[in-house]
Copies of this chain bind each other. A is one copy, B any other.
């Protein structure tokens, strides 16, 4: 692995674990056993590193979105898709964790982030509208918009919410809790045979045992 790549991998890891603002360029070079000067040879400042990491994030996320548009997915696949998005977010959690700082210190990244989010939500909206026209979802257009907003809220903020409550966010359990929240909100509008619905719920609930959601 080239030094440049090693820097990105290590930075991502440190950012995710300690928060971007708590990691200085010296910390990164220390972790890699290289000198600060060397780090600067590859990346002229933390900003460039953050930008490079965001580009990676965007690439991977776009691939997930792309796959949804191409394959004709049904509403059960949909929840799996939601999980994939949550999971990608988890890999780059530092982007969500410190977004206030992020937008203040790296406005270019913040702009690209919000642009990407809006696109992502457009994509979600299209999907839900398709389900609506197919009859697997019963809702008005306004309700669809509400669903999109709620999903966006869970995607981008649920980790912060759990962290604020003092819960550990280092494992992936909370992803399932987020998924359960989305399922809870959408369920009343989903038009599926009871049996299949329960199957879906159980699949999600088995992963979020901790909170007694299993009885859902």
Tell me the A residues contacting B by CB distance below 8 Å. 19, 21-22, 97-101, 103-104, 110-111, 113-114, 117-118, 140-143, 145-146, 149-150, 152-154, 156-158, 160-161, 163-166, 177, 180-181, 184-185, 188-189, 211-213, 215-216
Q: How many copies does the complex hold?
A: 2
What are 5 contact pairs spanning A and B, CB under 8 A?
A: A21-B101, A103-B164, A146-B216, A153-B158, A157-B158
User: A100: which of B98, B143, B153 is its contact (CB, 8 Å)?
Assistant: B98
**Which 8 residue pairs of A and B lie closest in terms of their CB atoms, listed nearest first?**
A188-B188, A157-B157, A114-B166, A146-B184, A185-B185, A98-B100, A142-B216, A153-B161
- Asked whether, in the complex, the Cβ of B164 is within 8 Å of the Cβ of A181, the reply is no
CA of A117 to CA of B164, assembled, Å: 9
CA of A165 to CA of B151, assembled, Å: 13
User: A101: which of B101, B150, B158, B177 is its contact (CB, 8 Å)?
Assistant: B101
User: A215: which of B98, B142, B158, B160 is its contact (CB, 8 Å)?
Assistant: B142
